[in-house]
Amino acid sequence: GAGVSQSPSNKVTEKGKDVELRCDPISGHTALYWYRQRLGQGLEFLIYFQGNSAPDKSGLPSDRFSAERTGESVSTLTIQRTQQEDSAVYLCASSLAVLSGANVLTFGAGSRLTVL
Amino acid sequence: GDSVTQMEGPVTLSEEAFLTINCTYTATGYPSLFWYVQYPGEGLQLLLKATKADDKGSNKGFEATYRKETTSFHLEKGSVQVSDSAVYFCALSAGSARQLTFGSGTQLTVLP
């Protein structure tokens, strides 16, 4: 697609429920990232996928968080047994794979999660 | 670990005022540096970048110079417009890391 698409744009859930957030990256972008943005705070790295390589999961805050990506397409971020502190905007980004650290990320508009 | 420290907001300016948003960083090696902007209701988008010392990134009248000696990448614009109202994020990418490390963001409001 023309940009990074995320769904749902807004999700309200009850504490203890599981949620799934979806990201559809730009076609041809082999790298995909998930970030979390809490209210009034910066972006917190969660996980990074690059092609068929093992993902970098170093930013996942707990084992309640997991993410999957099939090939170079859609990714799903799953949060199990949601807690109120999980309330945030979850941002997905994609980029072309580059060798250096100067790759430019294109972000989606985010999925706003509210846990009651 | 790598980190980015940004000037705290919010910042409120009148149209045509001069803008500076400070950004300093801590990183191993020689990072690439970025400014991203988030307009209301939209996703983050790249504003400008610099990949080595003394490089100047520029776009839409905004500029930032990569200063290795002061580990800084301050964002400047000579004359802001109401349409520049947004949240600005400084970020870096260092070493073999592919993800970006972001600052906390600075909210800019420009009044007519």
* pLDDT tens figures, B86-110: 999 999 988 666 778 999 999 999 9
Are B89 and A43 inside 8 Å of each other by CB?
A: yes
What was the pLDDT predicted at B42?
84
CB A101 within 8 A of CB B31: yes
Q: Give the one of A42, A102, A106 whose C-beta lies nearest to B93's C-beta.
A: A102
Are A110 and B43 inside 8 Å of each other by CB?
A: yes
Report phi then psi at B82, rounded to 5. Answer: -55, -35
Are B43 and A42 inside 8 Å of each other by CB?
A: no
A93's tokens: 């980004």
* pLDDT tens figures, B31-67: 999 999 999 888 899 999 999 899 999 999 999 999 9
A34's tokens: 């998930």
CB-CB neighbors (< 8 A) of A107 in chain B: 36, 43-45
